[in-house]
Amino acid sequence: MNLLGVHLTILIGETVPAPAPFELGEALKDVEVNHRDDGPSGFQLRYHVGRAGLFDLRDYGLLSNPLLRPFNRVIIIVRFAIAPKVLMDGIITNVQLTPNEQPGEDILTITGEDISIMMDLEEQSRSFPAMPDYAAVGQIVGSYGQYGLIPPLPPLNQASLTPDNPLEQIRQQPANMTDRAYLKSLADRYGFLFYLTPGPAPGVNRVHWGPPERLSVPQPGLSVKMGPVTNVDSINFQFNALSPQQARYTERGESDTVSSPSPDRRIPLARNVAEARRSTMLTGFSCRAAAQAQGAVDRSFDNAVTATGELNAIRYNGILNPRGLVGVRGAGDTYDGIYYVKNVNHKISKGHYGQSFTLTREGTGTISPFIIP
C-alpha cells in the first residue's frame, strides 16, 4: 500500500511470513502499532469485510482466511523514500468481527502482541546456579532462537548486579512465572527495562534488558511553533513534582539512602534535575539492596517531566523511534532539549500517517546547545 510517499508492507503466515495477498491489501482499512518500554508492544489490523458475493453466503470470506488465524506471525514494514523499517514483528492473539447495518461498514479487527508473547505462554521453573541476573537473562533469551531473538549485551555496571555472597546467586525461577514475566521482574529489581525491538531485518528482534537507552544519537528534532518547519500537530508538557523520590535501604546491617539518579545508568538530559520530596523504604535485607534502591530512585525520576503529543509522519519525513532520544525545539528554554522517547503509537491509513508519542526526562532546562532538525 502506498501512502503519500510511504509504502506499507505486511508479511503474514504460520511459520515463515510472506507478503499478504492482494485481497488482504485491498480490504485493509487501517493499521495501528503501539511501542512502549514498560510492557509488550502491540498491533491492530482493521479490514473492511462484506458478504455480497456468492462465496460469502455462508460466512465472511476474510474471516475464514487461514492467514488471519490466531498465532500466525505478522511483520509490518514501512518505507520512507528508500530505507525500509520493520515496525512490528508479532503474533495474532485476537480476532474480532463487528457487523454494521450500513453496507460495507462491517469490520474485522486482527489484534496481536510482539513476539515476546511466545515467552508468555507456559510457566517455567528454571534454576540458575552461581549466575548473576544478567547472565540468567541471556540464557533464557537464548532458548527462543527460533523467533530471531538477539540476546542483550551485558550491562556496563556488572559489579553492582553481581552479589558478593555466592549463596545469593543460587536461585530458582518461581514455578508460577512465565519467562517473560520473570525477565520483567528481574528488570524491575534494578529499575531496568525489558522489551523487544523488531529489526533491522524482518524476522529478527533485538532484546533489551537494562537501563533506558540514553547513549544513542538523538533522532531528528520535533519542531514546535516554528512556522513552515513545524512537524508537531500538538504537544503538552507536564512537570510532576511528586514523581521523584529517595529510597532508604539496609544492606549488610548498614542503612543508607539514595536520593538522586545514577549517572552510570541514566545519562542526564535536563539542566535542572527535579528534587525528591518523597521517600520510600525498601524492605528486606538482600545484598542487592543498594542496586534495588538505586533502581527505584532512577525509575521515579524518569517521569518527572513528561511531554505528550501528535506528530505528522509525512512532515517529519520519517518515523519517530521509541526507546531512544529525540530533541524538542521551539517550546522555550524550560522544555526544549533532549528527551527519552517512552512510547510511540502509529496510526496508518490511506492518505494519513500519524504518530502520538510520550517523552520523558528527569527535570527542566535544556543542556543541549543544538537540536538536530
Output the DSSP codes for 189-240: HTT-EEEEEE-SSTT-EEEEEES---SSPPEEEEE-S-GGG--EEEEEEEE-
- How many structural domains does the chain have? 4
Range of the domain at 31: 6-115
| Residue 43 placed within a domain | yes
| Residue 72 placed within a domain | yes
| Residue 1 placed within a domain | no
CA 270, distance to chain mean position in Å, is: 22
Check residues 333 and 296 and name the one with the higher pLDDT: 333
| Residue 371 placed within a domain | no
- Do residues 210 and 183 touch, judged by C-beta distance below 8 A? no
Residue in 113, 158, 166 with CA at minimum distance from that of residue 135? 158
82 and 35 together in one domain: yes
Domain boundary among 115, 130, 153: 115
Cα 161 to Cα 345: distance, rounded to the nearest angstrom: 33
Cα 267 to Cα 190: distance, rounded to the nearest angstrom: 16
- Do residues 129 and 243 touch, judged by C-beta distance below 8 A? no
38 and 167 together in one domain: no
Mean pLDDT over 4-31 rounds to: 91
For 31-58, write each residue's pLDDT tens digit. Answer: 999 999 999 999 999 999 876 666 566 6
For 264-308, write each residue's pLDDT tens digit. Answer: 678 899 999 999 889 888 776 566 778 888 888 988 899 999 999
Percent of the chain past pLDDT 70, that is, above it, reads 90
| Residue 372 placed within a domain | no
Output the DSSP codes for 65-103: -GGGSTT-EEEEEEEETTEEEEEEEEEEEEEEEE--SST
44 and 82 together in one domain: yes
Residue in 283, 272, 276 with CA at minimum distance from that of residue 245? 276
Check pLDDT > 60 for residue 165.
Answer: no
319 and 361 together in one domain: yes
271 and 172 together in one domain: no
285 and 361 together in one domain: no
| Residue 106 placed within a domain | yes
Specify the DSSP class assigned to residue 123: E
> Which CATH number belongs to the domain containing residue 109 in this structure?
2.30.300.10
The rounded mean pLDDT for the chain is 88
Mean pLDDT over 200-226 rounds to: 93
256 and 126 together in one domain: no
173 and 254 together in one domain: no
276 and 324 together in one domain: no
Among 56-65, 120-129, 149-158, the range scoring the smallest mean pLDDT is 56-65
12 and 140 together in one domain: no
Among 139-153, 196-210, 259-273, 296-310, the range scoring the smallest mean pLDDT is 259-273
pTM of the model: 0.90
What is the pLDDT at residue 158? 57
For 254-265, write each residue's pLDDT tens digit. Answer: 788 888 887 767
224 and 321 together in one domain: yes
Q: How far from 251 is each of 284, 288, 290, 299, CA to CA, in Å? A: 9, 8, 7, 20
- Do residues 114 and 144 touch, judged by C-beta distance below 8 A? no
| CA-based R_g, the chain, Å | 23
Confidence of residue 90 (pLDDT cuts 50, 70, 90): very high
Check residues 165 and 278 and name the one with the higher pLDDT: 278
Cα 91 to Cα 45: distance, rounded to the nearest angstrom: 12
Q: How far from 298 is each of 146, 190, 230, 357, CA to CA, in Å? A: 34, 9, 33, 21
Cα 235 to Cα 254: distance, rounded to the nearest angstrom: 46
